Structure 1
Amino acid sequence: MKSVLMLFALLLPLRAVAAELKIATWNLDWLTTRAAGDHELPSDVTPRSDEDFNRLAQYAQELDADLIAIQEVDGFRAASKVFPHDRYSIHMTHDHVVQRVGIVVRRGLKYDINPDVTGLGEHHLRSGADITLHLGGSDLRVLAVHLKKGCREVPLTKATTHVCEELRDQVPVLADWITARRQDGVPFLVLGDFNRWMDSRDTLLADLRQAAPLVRATEGHSSPCWGGENFIDHILAGGPAAGWMHPDTLRVLTYSETDRAMKDRLSDHCPVSVRLTVPEASGVSAGGG
């Protein structure tokens, strides 16, 4: 009888369970392994020391996220000094710029790489990094971005400055990507450094929400990073992922260092994270503290 019960148990379908994922974005502020004075670096940029990289790696370990969108990173070598190879897989865009965008994924999670969203990289700006994360019964499309700096609050319909015009040119590219995901019917995230406050009246956010309904994790919050500021790093969820994201789990990992001079050695941005609950995610190996 016992053997019959064991056989019956083996024949039952495996129950798909929900998995929790910790998703983050982190602008690492000219993270590079180039030497000081390199012709590709602005004169006011001082490359990190080994001690600085070690500090950042400790914060990455404390963040303990399953997926991190990264910005202003000079390629795989610099990224791997913060996110070690044995714990993370690193995908970077193919741009020929120092400030590249990437996505870091915890080992054990599988993903496919999609073509860079190069339309965001016109005017020598940064392309978007695009992957499909495989989560057992569900796939999650993820786009990491770093939009044009210098136009944080001006309504884009009234923008006349060069920087605001460049940001305005990026909006249709991003909206087209979002529209395509809505038409695909897939869960998706857009996250990164938007260089935009995106309050409730923001025209950029309104344009993106015309492409598809979006939930913004940072909605109604300000950031405690370096003493307090408005968010410009955001996490947007659309499609089924809008229901997976829990905005009440929004967290900002602030640095224990309070000396403002440490901003150049760490970053002028703090990691921003939120949690998702992915339904029917059998076979997902995820962590996150």
Structure 2
Amino acid sequence: MFLVLLFLCFLSLPLPAQARDLKLATWNLGWLTLRPAGDPALPDDIPRRSAVDLAHLRAYVAHLDADVIGFQEVDGETAAARLFPSPTYRLLLTNDPVVQRVGIAVKPDLTITRHDDVTALNVYPPGAPHPLRSGLDVTISDGTASLRLLVVHLKTGCWDNPPTEHAHACPTLVSQFTALEDWILERQDEGEAFAIMGDFNRRLTPTDPFFLTLLHDAPLLLTTAGYASPCWGGEYFIDHILLGGPARSWLKNNSLRVMTYTGADDTPQTTSDHCPVSIHLDLP
């Protein structure tokens, strides 16, 4: 009888909590739009994807199977829904009046709290003919742990140039990194686990002066550090995922992946000139 009672007591003990695996991905979809050729909002040389191409991309989304996908260069929710269907994903996009919008697709078992768009990333003056993109700022939660997440698409053209260069792209990127510093300082002050992911248009490394400016404000983990991307035959990363606060310890070892396109007819025009970059986190 004593052994039976001991066994029943053992069964009633609470089991240790299991960490929730969260797959984060960032993906620039390269001018994803449903507008017809000749639309005045579109350049003449952008990709023209057919219904077959969109279905093919949707299959790649299913293969990626990420819990959270931050995306760039998508022309509104209708276009995004062609790749990230409901109820598999819920969608949020910035409120920018541009074709190349930033957004996020999140699986329904996670809760999303939306914060104000980070409009400070549009460092151009009011009335500029081509405004820059805001950042999408959200908190993702599984009910136990929360992750503050900023999805960005920064100014192109300052790939690995010094920040002191006076060409138009580098001063603009410097100003955008100042806005990122401000956002990081707020997260640091609040003690939040956070991530910044997206198309930085910068070949960030642990010694890059742009990355070092962010490190002045908080310790960060550059998950792409030390690696090259196999996308379209090999290139340096410009799509990155940065982790800060407690999230730095959530990264699963060796979980960085780049999903490449394997179809015989796949080209940057029919799929995208960027490949999805993903990591796995263990949420406590």
The TM-score normalised by the length of structure 2 is: 0.92
Aligned counterparts of 1:46 and 1:268: Cα–Cα separation in 2: 10
**Residue type of the alignment partner of 2:165:** A
Structure 2 matches for 1:102-251, cutoff 5 A?
102-123=103-124, 124-156=131-163, 158-251=164-257
Question: Does the aligned pair in 1 maintain the 2:109–2:142 contact within 8 Å?
Answer: no
More strand by share: 1
Aligned counterparts of 1:64 and 1:272: Cα–Cα separation in 2: 12
Q: Which residue does the alignment assign to 1:27?
A: 28
Segments of structure 1 that go 5 or more residues without pairing to the other structure are 280-289
Aligned counterparts of 1:272 and 1:117: Cα–Cα separation in 2: 22
The CA deviation at 1:245 is 1.1
Q: Per the alignment, in what secondary structure is the counterpart of residue 230 of structure 1?
A: coil
Question: Does the aligned pair in 1 maintain the 2:156–2:169 contact within 8 Å?
Answer: yes
Residues 48-69 of structure 1 show CA distances to partners (whole Å, capped at 9, x for unaligned) of 2111110110000000000011
Q: Which residue does the alignment assign to 1:57?
A: 58
Q: Per the alignment, in what secondary structure is the counterpart of residue 62 of structure 1?
A: helix
Q: For the structure 1 residues 44 and 52, does the alpha-carbon distance in structure 2 shift closer, same or farther, using more than 3 Å as the test? A: same
Q: Which residue does the alignment assign to 2:41?
A: 40
Q: For the structure 1 residues 114 and 8, does the alpha-carbon distance in structure 2 shift closer, same or farther, using more than 3 Å as the test? A: farther
Segments of structure 2 that go 5 or more residues without pairing to the other structure are 125-130
The CA deviation at 1:86 is 1.5
Task: Decide which moves more: 236-245 or 117-126.
Answer: 117-126
The CA deviation at 1:125 is 0.5
The CA deviation at 1:137 is 2.1
Aligned counterparts of 2:120 and 2:273: Cα–Cα separation in 1: 27
Corresponding pairs, count: 275
Q: Which residue does the alignment assign to 1:275?
A: 280
Report 1 or 2 for greater relative contact order, CA contacts < 8 Å, sequence distance ≥ 6: 1
**Residue type of the alignment partner of 2:153:** H
Q: Percent identity?
A: 49
Task: Decide which moves more: 72-81 or 198-207.
Answer: 198-207
Aligned counterparts of 1:133 and 1:140: Cα–Cα separation in 2: 5
Question: Does the aligned pair in 2 maintain the 1:226–1:258 contact within 8 Å?
Answer: no
Task: Decide which moves more: 12-21 or 174-183.
Answer: 12-21
The TM-score normalised by the length of structure 1 is: 0.90
Q: Which residue does the alignment assign to 1:256?
A: 262
